[in-house]
């Protein structure tokens, strides 16, 4: 099994399976944010997902 760093590095290379694994892993947090007001906000979830995808390409891992 790959660790989070390996999955992340594959996702940075546009590996769709790795991106899907990251989204699956972090979607509970995105859902939690969408419920923050007490009502589920679909737009909030989508904004979180888009921000997450953009951040994959921008984030740098320190060695």
From the first residue on, what is the mean pLDDT of each consecutive set of 10 residues in the chain (63 residues)? 86 94 94 91 93 90 75
| Residue closest to 22 by CA, chosen among 45, 42, 37, 30 | 30
Residue 63 falls within a domain, yes or no? no
Which range of residues forms the domain containing residue 11?
Answer: 4-58
Residue 49 falls within a domain, yes or no? yes
Number of domains in the chain: 1
Give the contacts of 49 (CB within 8 A, at least 6 positions apart): 23, 27, 30
Residue 48 falls within a domain, yes or no? yes
Place of tokens 């951040």: 55
pLDDT of amino acid 37: 87
| Residue closest to 21 by CA, chosen among 36, 39, 6 | 6
pLDDT of amino acid 1: 52
Are the C-beta atoms of residues 32 and 17 closer than 8 Å to each other? no
Residue 30 falls within a domain, yes or no? yes
């Amino acid at each position: 099994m790959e660790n989070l760093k390996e999955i992340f590095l594959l996702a940075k290379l546009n590996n769709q399976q790795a991106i899907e694994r990251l989204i699956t892993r972090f979607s509970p947090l995105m859902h939690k944010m969408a419920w923050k007001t007490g009502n589920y906000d679909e737009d909030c979830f989508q904004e979180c997902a888009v921000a997450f995808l953009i951040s994959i390409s921008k984030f740098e891992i320190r060695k």
